[in-house]
C-alpha cells in the first residue's frame, strides 16, 4: 500500500497524456509506476516519469459521449478512446468500481487481445492498487482509463481450430504451433493465428480456475528464460497478460473466473504462436540474487517491459522466475 502519495501524483501527471502514441504504441507509464510503488520504489517514480513522458502525446479529443444506448457501436473503435474513458469516469463516479468492473468484464473479455493485450494489463495494475488500499480519485481514474482503453481497442479472436493440448500449462505452451509467417506487427500476426492447443478444458469451478491460471502465469514466466530471444519485448505479454487477469479475479464475481481462465490461456498461447523462436536456449542467472536485487536491476535498466515483467516474476517468486526476469533485462535494450 502506498502511503507516500507518490502514485496518485504520478497518475495525475500521466492522465494528461493519451493511452497510446504514434497511432498504436501503448503508454506503459501508469503500469510501470504502479509496479514501482508496489515493490517499494516510490522514491524513483517521478524521475522515471520525467524520462518516459518525453515521448508521450497529449490526451486525445472526445467526439461523442458513449452511453448505455450506443456503446456497442463504439466498441473496438480506437478513435473513440477519449469517449470511452469519459464514459467509465462517469460510471465509476456514480457506483462502486467493483460493480462497474463486474458489469463490463464479461463484455470486454472476448476482446482482450486488442492493443497487444496492454489494456487488460493496465486494468490489472489498477485493480491491484485498488484492492490493496484506498480508492483515491487518481486510482479510480486510472481504472477508468484502463477500461476505456480496453473498450476502444476491443479485438476478439474467433474461428480458432482446437488442437490437442497437454495437462500442464508448460507442456501446453510447448505444444503451441508457431504461425507460418512471423513478420509484421501484433495485429497482423494475430490475424494469422488459426490453431491453438486446448488447455484445462475440464475446469468448471472458480477455485480450480484460479489455481490453473496461477500455473499458467508461472509456466509462461519460466518459459521466457529459454524462449524470450524469439522477441524480447512481445513475449513478455505471454506472462503479464494472464497475470493481469489473475490479479483481477478477487475483484470479480466468482462466476467470471472460469471464462477469465479461458481468455487468459488464449492470449498467452496466441502470443507464443506469434513470437516464439524455433528452438529454445539454455540460460541460467549469474549467481544467487534476491527478489529485491532483481527488481533493483530492472529499475536500473529502466525499460518499462523489463520492469513489468520483473514485477510478474516476483509474483511467481521462485528461482526460475527470477532467472527469467534477469534474462529479460539482458535481452532488452535500455531506454535511449
4: pLDDT strictly greater than 90: no
286: pLDDT strictly greater than 90: no
Instruction: Tell me which of 23 and 271 has the higher pLDDT.
Output: 271
The arithmetic mean of pLDDT across residues 301-316, rounded, is 98
Which pLDDT band holds residue 285 (cuts at 50, 70, 90)? confident
What is the tens place of the pLDDT at every residue in 135-154?
999 999 999 999 999 999 99
What is the tens place of the pLDDT at every residue in 232-255?
999 999 999 999 999 999 999 999
Residue 1: its pLDDT value, please?
A: 63
Residue 283: its pLDDT value, please?
A: 83
Cell of 52: 518516459
Distance CA 143, CA 88 (A): 8
34: pLDDT strictly greater than 70: yes
3-state secondary structure of 17: strand
What is the tens place of the pLDDT at every residue in 73-122?
999 999 999 999 999 999 999 999 999 999 999 999 999 999 999 999 99
Percent of the chain's residues with pLDDT above 90: 95
Percent of the chain's residues with pLDDT above 70: 99
What is the tens place of the pLDDT at every residue in 190-223?
999 999 999 999 999 999 999 999 999 999 999 9
**Nearest CA-CA partner of 147 in 19, 250, 257:** 19
Evaluate whether 66 touches 83 at the Cβ level (below 8 Å): yes
**What letter would DSSP give residue 155?**
B
23: pLDDT strictly greater than 90: no
Distance CA 71, CA 134 (A): 30
**Nearest CA-CA partner of 302 in 21, 17, 32, 7:** 32
Amino acid at each position: 500500500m502506498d502511503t507516500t502519495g507518490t502514485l496518485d501524483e504520478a497518475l495525475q501527471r500521466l492522465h494528461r497524456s493519451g493511452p497510446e502514441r504514434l497511432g498504436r504504441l501503448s503508454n506503459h507509464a501508469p503500469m510501470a509506476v504502479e509496479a514501482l510503488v508496489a515493490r517499494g520504489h516510490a522514491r524513483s517514480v517521478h524521475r522515471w516519469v520525467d524520462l518516459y513522458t518525453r515521448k508521450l502525446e497529449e490526451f486525445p479529443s472526445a467526439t461523442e459521449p458513449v452511453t448505455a444506448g450506443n456503446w456497442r457501436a463504439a466498441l473496438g473503435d480506437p478513435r473513440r478512446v477519449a469517449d470511452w474513458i469519459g464514459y467509465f469516469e462517469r460510471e465509476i463516479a456514480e457506483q462502486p468500481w467493483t460493480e462497474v468492473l463486474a458489469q463490463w468484464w464479461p463484455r470486454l473479455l472476448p476482446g482482450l487481445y486488442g492493443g497487444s493485450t496492454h489494456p487488460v494489463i493496465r486494468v490489472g495494475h489498477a485493480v491491484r492498487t485498488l484492492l490493496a488500499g484506498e480508492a483515491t480519485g487518481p486510482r479510480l481514474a486510472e481504472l477508468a482509463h484502463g477500461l476505456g482503453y480496453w473498450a476502444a481497442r476491443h479485438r476478439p479472436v474467433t474461428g480458432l481450430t482446437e488442437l490437442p493440448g497437454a495437462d500442464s500449462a508448460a507442456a501446453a505452451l510447448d505444444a503451441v504451433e508457431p504461425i507460418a509467417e512471423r513478420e509484421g506487427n501484433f495485429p497482423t500476426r494475430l490475424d494469422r493465428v488459426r490453431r491453438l492447443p486446448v488447455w484445462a478444458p475440464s475446469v468448471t469451478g472458480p477455485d480450480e480456475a484460479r489455481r490453473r491460471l496461477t500455473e499458467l502465469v508461472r509456466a509462461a514466466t519460466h518459459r521466457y528464460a529459454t524462449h524470450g530471444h524469439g522477441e524480447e519485448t512481445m513475449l513478455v505479454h505471454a506472462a503479464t497478460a494472464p497475470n493481469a487477469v489473475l490479479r483481477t479475479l478477487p475483484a470479480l464475481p466468482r462466476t467470471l473466473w472460469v471464462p477469465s481462465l479461458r481468455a487468459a490461456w488464449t492470449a498467452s498461447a496466441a502470443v507464443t504462436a506469434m513470437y516464439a523462436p524455433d528452438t529454445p536456449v539454455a540460460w541460467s542467472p549469474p549467481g544467487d540474487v534476491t527478489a529485491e536485487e532483481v527488481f533493483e536491476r530492472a529499475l536500473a535498466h529502466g525499460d518499462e517491459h523489463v520492469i513489468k515483467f520483473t514485477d510478474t516474476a516476483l509474483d511467481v517468486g521462485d528461482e526460475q522466475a527470477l532467472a527469467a526476469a534477469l534474462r529479460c533485462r539482458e535481452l532488452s535494450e535500455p531506454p535511449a
